[in-house]
Amino acid sequence: MLDLIRSVEEKLVRAEGWLLVFLVGLMLTLAVYNVLYRNVLVPIQAKLTIQEHHTVAKTPEPVAERDTKTEPAEESGGFGGGFGAESDDESGFGGDFAKDEAPGDENGGFGGDFAQKADEPADDQAGFGGDFAQKADKPADDQAGFGGDFGDKPSEAAEPAPVDDNGGFGGDFAATEAPAADNGGFGGDFAQNADSDEGFGGAFGDTKPDQPSPTEKPSEPVVYEDPPELSGFAKFVDAFVQAVKLEWIDVLLRHLVLVVGFLGAMLATQRRKHITIDALSKVLPEKFLPWIDAVTAALATVICAFLAVSGADLVSISREYPKELMWWADEWEFQLVFPLGFGLLALHFAIRVLESLAIGFRANEGGQS
Amino acid sequence: MIVVIGLLLFLAALLGAPLFVVLGSFALLLFWDSGTSIVVLAEEQYKLATNPHLITIPLFTFAGFVMAHSKAGDRLVRASRAVLGWLPGGLAIVVVATCAFFTTFTGASGVTIVALGGLLLPMLTTEKYPEKFGLGLITSSGSIGLLFPPSLPIILYGIVAMVSIDKLFIAGILPGALMMGVLAVYSIFIARKNKVPRIPFVASDAVMTVKEAFWELLVPVVVLVSIYGGFVTIAEASAIAAIYILFIEVFVTKDIAIFPKEGDDRPDIGLIIRESMVMVGAILIILGVALGLTNYLVQEQVPMKILAFIQQHIDNKFTFLLLLTVFLLIVGCLMDIFSAIVVVVPLITPIAAEYGVDPIHLGIIFLANLEIGYITPPVGLNLFISSLAFDRPVVELYRMALPFLFLLLCALLVITLWEDLSLMMIR
């Protein structure tokens, strides 16, 4: 019986171990990708687009602190900051990146939105995909996307997209805000050039009058001139960099840490490597140890079960009020880690109880014979 | 009733129940008692997922474990010996320096003593250092690098106390250097007293060994320059450190294998990931559960109640700091550093703020105290690890560590009472 349980646990632990290795590998890859993206690709993009346009670019006001909904760059989600620096020298490009990922995710389903337009309630646009250059087909906003490319328009005012603010992706580079007060903390509006109406001036100008608060935007679309065209290569780089900007990575990474933590804790249970205070067991006679171990493991089993229930409650609450974390996952899907994680921990501890009891009985028998 | 259960839980903790279980039971008990739904526990734990610094914990830990499993330790010892060995007490200083370096990256989990002790102790005894001194030195150096960036306890402190990790990193440098300096001076004294022969400086050796360890010596430079050069955030720096160290150990020095193979006894990446994440998991689960408990304490204004109580007896900052020191030393020798941060920090930060202690300075005091707690008898963790690693009775180690304990306590007093030592670099 005990052997069977042990072999089951061994298999379980092996599976957990491999999952752990995979997830840590994934975490490392994504984290490194993020670093490269923010520190290599974006500066290149900025440089190219700015070189192309330095003649038309006015120096916009720094936009850094405009956004009140998000935290300052340094603190903003995970890998945030990195960029702040950029904004000073790159005529008006910048500050934005830093603010694009407040933990609370104003940006709803960003990134993904490349492909995800279809599910947006705002139906003003023909699924994204090819339409980097999907210009002026918006009745709502007359503005020709940016340089003829990219600008896919955000949702209309009339459609309060449940995915919070600016209905979608950074189409809004050039972005013709939806008149509604929705474009909160997102970074789409790369560089809200205060008043540069040459569109896209130095950067992805989301050219609209700068307002202290996003909620006070004008309720009608601003009329823009056509922004100047980028040359082919810059356009390509620009599109490419934008296309590989996976905004959800930060959110995913932070959740991966939780999952990895649980898996690590499971292995720690099996290896008996949990942090303990454990002052008495060093002085107690050895024959008591298995029994003490059984008692503490039993306590742990019960507590983990309670915590699993608490996690399950959280999941059911979140399912009632779903919140999108990334375009491909809701919050509750990641919160499942609590009931599952604590449940498995309870299982591991229960096995420990049995093991300790077995050791205790065997020692007793050995003592008697 | 509650009190009885509380006492039983405390007993369970002393008997070796995992700390997260004890904290979780307390939280469940208290929430149940106050009629709050237990879903709060999961909710609080989920808040971890909004912390942008959280990812530094697995990444820096992984980086540290990769180093610990490679032969970086040997290379660093050789290099620092060739460079510093000619000094009086040179080898002992080498011990302090390499242990500090190692601990900084491995987070004082006892890895340092296990990984380097076996190498360093024979070196010390063959150079005619008294064995007692050697054991004491290695035991106390096993936690000496905690105040240097990017050590894990600093990061955890920053997360729990919600103070700037960047600033904590900088503030820790001088106090950390002071503690190292105290040990180094004592080493010189012992070396003089025992007439330890000095080895001459050989330039070619120094160049060669430094070249060997070059990539590892570069690690702190990479981390610090990337953070303080204004290039990246701490989270990004942890990713850079992890990938850099992994790359060096796998492709440059080839100490680590990518996959486990028959007949290849090098550790593989999978093994290191599992080992490092066991530690990460053990820390994170305590952190997560403790957040629920903290939520209760804040809701019930427990810190304010404690404050009201001690304010009746203590009316100035100086006395408060002394009391704090005594309290933290006890905590430090009873609890592991990570759990101490998670459990104690939320309680003392509001109180210390009332007495006008700077939050950054408080962090340094806290960590310095816990660092010393590692070698405080009767249950300092390093004492037990050394006792296992060198196969000596723990009581013998108590005696050996005593002079070091005394010296470090003096350094601690300086750190505690001289605020500017911590704060001058961030002003």
- Helices (H) then strands (E): counts for chain B: 21, 0
Residue carrying the six token digits 């009190």: B3
Q: What is the pLDDT of residues A286-343, one digit of tens each?
A: 788 888 889 999 999 999 999 999 999 999 999 888 888 777 778 888 899 999 999 9
One-letter identity of residue B315: D
Mean pLDDT of the region A83-92? 34
* Interface contact A41, partner B, CB < 8 A: no
Say yes or no to pLDDT of A126 above 90: no
Residues 118-177 of A with CB under 8 A from B: none
Write b or e for each residue in A346-363: b if 16 or more Cβ atoms lie within 10 A of its Cβ, otherwise e: bbbbbbbbbbbbbbbeee
Distance CA A168, CA B234 (A): 29
Cβ partners under 8 Å of residue A288, min gap 6: none
Say yes or no to pLDDT of A60 above 50: no
Comparing CB atoms, the residue among B233, B238, B277 nearest residue A81 is: B233
Q: Give which of A107, A26, A123, A18 is closest to A70, Cα–Cα.
A: A107
Distance CA B37, CA B261 (A): 51
Phi, psi of A223 (to 5 degrees): -90, 130
One-letter identity of residue A77: G
- At residue A180, the pLDDT reads 35
Chain B residues in contact with A31 (beta carbon < 8 A)? 55, 59, 235-236, 238-239, 242
Chain B residues in contact with A254 (beta carbon < 8 A)? 48-52, 54-55
Mean pLDDT of the region A194-204? 34
Q: Radius of gyration over alpha carbons of chain B, in Å?
A: 22
Distance CA B240, CA B234 (A): 10
SS3 state of residue B416: helix
Tell if the CB–CB gap between B289 and A250 is shorter than 8 Å.
no
CA atoms within 13 A on the CB side of B298: 13
Comparing CB atoms, the residue among B25, B52, B379 nearest residue A80 is: B52
- Average pLDDT of every residue of chain A: 62
Say yes or no to pLDDT of A190 above 70: no
Say yes or no to pLDDT of A62 above 70: no
* Interface contact A228, partner B, CB < 8 A: no
Chain center to CA of B186: 22
Tell if the CB–CB gap between A254 and B50 is shorter than 8 Å.
yes
Q: How confident is the model at residue A262 (pLDDT cuts 50, 70, 90)?
A: very high
Which among A12, A18, A100, A314 is the top mutation candidate for probing chain B, defined by the most B β-carbons within 10 Å of its own β-carbon? Answer: A314
Q: Give which of A137, A158, A167 is closest to A219, Cα–Cα.
A: A158
Say yes or no to pLDDT of A198 above 60: no
Nearest-neighbour CA in chain B from A91: distance (Å): 19
Tell if the CB–CB gap between A264 and B286 is shorter than 8 Å.
no
Chain center to CA of B252: 28
- At residue A367, the pLDDT reads 57
Chain B residues in contact with A265 (beta carbon < 8 A)? 20, 281-282, 284-285
ipTM of the complex: 0.86
- At residue B49, the pLDDT reads 85
Q: Which residue of B has its CA nearest to A308?
A: B42
Tell if the CB–CB gap between B13 and A334 is shorter than 8 Å.
no
- At residue A230, the pLDDT reads 66
Query: Mind spelling out the 3-state secondary structure of chain A?
Result: CHHHHHHHHHHHHHHHHHHHHHHHHHHHHHHHHHHHHHHHHHHHHHHHHHHHHCCCCCCCCCCHHHCCCCCCHHHCCCCCHHHCCHHHHCCCCCHHHHCCCCCCCCCCCCCCHHHHHHHCCCCCCCCCCCHHHCCCCCCCCCCCCECCECCCCCCCCCCCCCCCCCCCCHHHCCCCCCCCCCCCCCCCCCCCCCCCCCCCCCCCCCCCCCCCCHHHCCCCCCCCCCCCCCCHHHHHHHHHHHHCCCCHHHHHHHHHHHHHHHHHHHHHHHHCCCCECCCCCCCCCHHHHHHHHHHHHHHHHHHHHHHHHHHHHHHHHHHHCCCEEECCEEHHHHHCHHHHHHHHHHHHHHHHHHHHHHHHHHHHHHHHC
Q: Which residue of B has its CA nearest to A30?
A: B239
Q: What is the pLDDT of residues A102-111, one digit of tens each?
A: 333 333 333 3
- At residue A227, the pLDDT reads 53
* CA-CA-CA-CA torsion sign (B211, B215, B219, B221): positive
Tell if the CB–CB gap between A34 and B239 is shorter than 8 Å.
yes
Distance CA A343, CA A110 (A): 33
One digit per residue, the tens of pLDDT, for chain B of length 427 reads 788 988 998 888 888 888 899 999 999 998 888 888 889 899 889 988 888 888 988 998 898 888 888 888 888 888 888 888 888 888 888 889 888 888 888 776 677 888 788 888 888 888 888 988 999 999 988 888 889 988 889 999 999 998 999 899 999 999 999 999 999 999 999 988 888 888 888 888 889 989 888 888 888 888 888 888 777 888 888 899 999 999 999 999 888 888 888 777 888 899 999 988 998 898 899 888 988 888 888 888 888 888 888 888 888 888 899 989 989 888 887 777 888 898 899 989 988 988 889 999 999 999 999 888 888 887 777 888 888 888 888 888 888 899 999 999 999 999 999 988 889 888 7
Say yes or no to pLDDT of A130 above 70: no
Q: Which residue of A has its CA nearest to B26?
A: A303
Q: How confident is the model at residue A132 (pLDDT cuts 50, 70, 90)?
A: very low
SS3 state of residue B254: coil
Tell if the CB–CB gap between B338 and A313 is shorter than 8 Å.
no
Chain B residues in contact with A278 (beta carbon < 8 A)? 14-16
Q: Which residue of A has its CA nearest to B36?
A: A310
Nearest-neighbour CA in chain A from B398: distance (Å): 16
Size of chain A, expressed as the number of residues it contains: 369
Chain A residues in contact with B269 (beta carbon < 8 A)? 21
Q: Give which of A204, A238, A168 is closest to A63, Cα–Cα.
A: A204
Tell if the CB–CB gap between A82 and B236 is shorter than 8 Å.
yes
Chain B residues in contact with A314 (beta carbon < 8 A)? 39, 42-43, 46
- At residue A80, the pLDDT reads 33
- At residue A163, the pLDDT reads 34
Q: What is the pLDDT of residues A213-253, one digit of tens each?
A: 343 334 444 444 555 566 777 777 777 777 777 778 888 99
Q: Are A160 and A174 in contact (CB under 8 A)?
A: no
Looking at mean pLDDT, say which of A141-145, A163-167, B62-66 comes out highest. B62-66
Tell if the CB–CB gap between B273 and A24 is shorter than 8 Å.
yes
Nearest-neighbour CA in chain A from B107: distance (Å): 14
Residue carrying the six token digits 């790359």: B247
Q: Which residue of A has its CA nearest to B246?
A: A28
Tell if the CB–CB gap between A35 and B240 is shorter than 8 Å.
yes
Residue carrying the six token digits 């979140």: A318
Q: Two tokens at B101? A: 């370096």
Q: Two tokens at B413? A: 């007093």
* Interface contact A37, partner B, CB < 8 A: no
Comparing CB atoms, the residue among A257, A262, A307 nearest residue B54 is: A257
Cβ pairs A/B, distance under 8 A: 231
CA atoms within 13 A on the CB side of B70: 29
* Interface contact A292, partner B, CB < 8 A: yes
- At residue A121, the pLDDT reads 37
Q: Give which of A17, A93, A356, A68 is closest to A212, Cα–Cα.
A: A68
Distance CA B182, CA B405 (A): 11
